[in-house]
Structure 1
Amino acid sequence: MTTGVIDPRYGDPSATPPPWGVIERFLMDAQLYWIITVRADGRPHAVPLVGVWQDGAFAFCTGPDEQKQRNLDANPHVAVTTGSTGANGWNRGKDVVVEGTAVRVTDAEALRTLATAWFAKYGDDWEFAVRGQEFVEISDSGASTEGGARVYRVAPHKVIAFGDGHGQTTYRF
């Protein structure tokens, strides 16, 4: 069981750290995330994206020609963030940062499981089939479209949760 540790420099040391299950549920329920990758020249690159939290890790997909794919080719270390939409502020809301290494998912069964999770979470807007080692979108006619997306899984090395009266709580894995 992962236990959070409150950083007394940035929070109330007498507060109780949120249980990991609460933070994990927050990650599962989020609709939008931001991923920060590092370009080959060291500059950061941040973009919003959808994804799923499943089996203790964040999963996302990217096209083979996208900037984040080129960045992952050079450096697989990423940060993924999400927060309380509409409630973001200094004394309210919650923000979570997941730090880890993006590892490509190529196993067909794992890809099918993730495609099912995407559909369960986002519905027809993000319906994928698996072709080879990639996701392909399902068109309105039910056919899979051209071009594929590579799927990655980010198991956390560290998760930092901010807000809800505890300040900053860190979970290490």
Structure 2
Amino acid sequence: MHWILGIALTIAVFVILKQWGALSAAKKKEAAWKAALVIGGALLLFMVLTGRVHVLTAAVAALLPLLRKLPVLLKFWPMVQRMTGQKGADSDAQPGSQNHGDDAGSAGRSAASTGSMGLNEACDTLGVKPSASREEIIAAHRRLIQKMHPDRGGNDYLAAKINEAKSVLLKHCQPDE
């Protein structure tokens, strides 16, 4: 089986090199870029399939070649804002412009980032009762964080919620004597 793959690879390399020699300098440069992108994409796909690279990281890496097109795409941004009805940063500086939607959005983001988790939500997150002891809270936290830690296939958001739930419950927990 290996010798068949070797022969096929040798024939492919021979055909590619023969066609490469017939190309002009400009076509060679274009073909080199295409070959680099195809080889890079194939390596990225291989690494995703073997579990060496996370899918989101691969998606970001696949979008990197499109950064060359970003200046062209940014020309269309004001048109996209007009079509969606969003106000741009320029409209904030104009006198008399009202910005009610942005204020509500930033208030919602700041409330979410301050960690205002309630006792019931913390209990639901860790799966304990509000009357749980300190040891039960710590054991539940340890059990969940081992499953949801970013290094073990979880994500940062879940790990942060579990940690926040632990701190909320430990603040409300009566100290053991």
Largest Rg, 1 or 2: 2
Point out the structure with the larger helix share.
2
TM-score, structure 2 normalization: 0.18
The higher relative CO (CA closer than 8 Å, separation ≥ 6) is in 1
Point out the structure with the larger strand share.
1
